[in-house]
Amino acid sequence: MTTHRAFRYSLNRAGVALLLGTGLTPFAATSATNSATQTNEAVDDYGPLKTYAQSPLQSNSLTPQVRSGFRLPTQTVELYGTGTIASVWANTDDYKMDYYQNDLSVGSYIQINEKWAIEMDYTWRFAANNGLDTLTKAFHDTFGIGLNGRDEVDKHAFDISVPQYGVEIHDFEGKTLSNAFTFYASYQVVENAHHGLSLGGSLYYNYVGSGPFKTSSLEQALQLNYSYRSGKHRVYTLLGLSYRHNDEVLSNIPYNHFAFSSGISYQYAIAPRHRLITEFHLYEGASDATSDLNEPSTEVLLGYRYHTDEGAIEISMIENVFNMDNSTDIAFTLGYRHRVTFE
C-alpha cells in the first residue's frame, strides 16, 4: 500500500512539474484546450453557403447575406470565387419578366483581430443564355408543378415589361445588369463554445456605365448575425436592414428606400470532409410599384460542401417558394473558398 501511494504521489508531482515547466497552470491548460478547440472549429467551419439573393430586384441591389456569427482565427484570410446561373420568370397583369441572369463573384474575407473582420467583394451580373429554361420545364413536369404560363412563350427570351412605368426592354442578351463593389465590416460582440454574435455593416456601389440598365447607386446595410454550434450541427441566422438613396435601380423600376432581410441556415457534418446545408431566405418586398413586387420574396436553398485540406468546394440550388412572380424561378451556384492563416 505504501509503495502504491508513493507511486501515485510521484505521478502527481510529475504532472504538476510538466504543467509548470510549460508555463501552464491546470486552469490555464483547460482554457488553452478550450481555446484550441474553438480555433479548430473556426478553421473547419465555413459557415452558410456563399450565395447571394437571386430575386430580380434584390439581386441587383444591396441585400444582406446570411453569415456566421463566429469569428475566424486571427490573421486568417479567405479568398473565394463563385459563379451562378439563374432563370427569371414572372408573369402577372402588371408586369412580365423572362430572362436569364448570371453572376461572377470574387472576394476576400480578412479576420484582422479577435474583434474585427472585413470583406471586399466584386460581382458582375449579366444577361446570357444559360439554357435553364429546358431544365426548369423538365423539373416542373417531373414533379407536377405548374409552369405559370412559361410553356406558352418561346424559350431563351430576354424581356422585361412594366407598362405602368414605361419600362419595355427586349433582346438584352449580353448586357450588364449590375456591376457591384461591396465592402463589409464585422464586429464580434460575443463568442463562446456554442454561441456567436456579430454585428456587420456594408457599403455597396453599383455602376453600369451604359446600356438599358445604366445606373450609379450607393447603398448601405446593417445586419445582426447569430450562430449556434454543437457537435455536427450548426445554425446561422440573419436579421438585416438595407438603405438605398436612389429609388430606381433596375431599369427605372421604383425601389423602396428601406428593406428588411432575414434568413436561417442549417449545416450538418455527415463526415469529416462532407457537409449538407439548407437555408431559407425572406426578403421584404423591394418595390411598391406593383402588387407582387411589394410582396415578400422567399428562397429555399439546398447545398453540399466538400472540404479540401485548405479550402472548400460548394454547390447549391436556389428555388423560389410561395410567390412565383417576384423571385427567380431557379438558380445554381458553384464556388470555391480558400483559407490561409498567417502566424
159: exposed, middle or buried (C-beta count within 10 Å: 0-12, 13-18, 19+)? Answer: middle
27 and 91: one domain?
A: no
25 and 67: one domain?
A: no
The confidence score (pLDDT) of residue 157 equals: 85
Angstrom distance (rounded) from CA 157 to CA 326: 18
The answer to whether position 40 is within a domain reads: no
Q: Highest mean pLDDT: which of 2-6, 71-75, 150-154? A: 71-75
220 and 131: one domain?
A: yes
- Is the pLDDT at 147 greater than 50, yes or no? yes
Please write the tens of the pLDDT for every residue from 203-248.
999 999 999 899 899 999 999 999 999 999 999 999 999 998 876 6
The confidence score (pLDDT) of residue 290 equals: 59
- Is the pLDDT at 175 greater than 60, yes or no? yes
10 and 90: one domain?
A: no
The answer to whether position 237 is within a domain reads: yes
The answer to whether position 334 is within a domain reads: yes
- Is the pLDDT at 24 greater than 50, yes or no? no
The confidence score (pLDDT) of residue 288 equals: 65
Q: In this predicted model, which residue has the larger pLDDT, 201 or 144?
A: 201
Query: What is the average per-residue pLDDT within 115-126?
Result: 98
DSSP string, 143-181: TT---TTGGGS-SS--EEEEGGGTEEEE--TT-EEEEEE
Angstrom distance (rounded) from CA 67 to CA 87: 25
CA 158, 160, 161, 166 torsion-angle sign: negative
Please write the tens of the pLDDT for every residue from 277-292.
999 999 887 666 656 6
Query: What is the average per-residue pLDDT within 317-329?
Result: 78
136 and 6: one domain?
A: no
60 and 18: one domain?
A: no
Q: In this predicted model, which residue has the larger pLDDT, 190 or 58?
A: 190
68 and 194: one domain?
A: yes
Query: What is the average per-residue pLDDT within 152-163?
Result: 79
The confidence score (pLDDT) of residue 289 equals: 60
- Is the pLDDT at 43 greater than 70, yes or no? no
The answer to whether position 197 is within a domain reads: yes
Tell me the three state secondary structure of residue 259. strand
Angstrom distance (rounded) from CA 185 to CA 110: 10
Residue 154 vs residues 90, 99, 135, 149: alpha-carbon distances, Å: 14, 11, 14, 11
* Structural domain that includes position 137: 46-341
The answer to whether position 27 is within a domain reads: yes
9 and 109: one domain?
A: no
94 and 27: one domain?
A: no
The answer to whether position 39 is within a domain reads: no
Number of domains in the chain: 2
Rounded to two decimals, the pTM is: 0.83
Please write the tens of the pLDDT for every residue from 238-261.
999 999 887 666 666 777 788 899
- Is the pLDDT at 6 greater than 80, yes or no? no
Number of C-alpha atoms within 13 angstroms, CB side, residue 29?
11
**Residue 127 CB neighbours (<10 A):** 23
Q: 311-338 as b/e, with b when 16 or more CB fall inside 10 Å?
A: bbebebebbbeebbbbbbbbbbbebebe
CATH number of the domain within which 222 lies: 2.40.160.40
The answer to whether position 143 is within a domain reads: yes
204 and 322: one domain?
A: yes
14 and 153: one domain?
A: no
167 and 193: one domain?
A: yes
The answer to whether position 250 is within a domain reads: yes
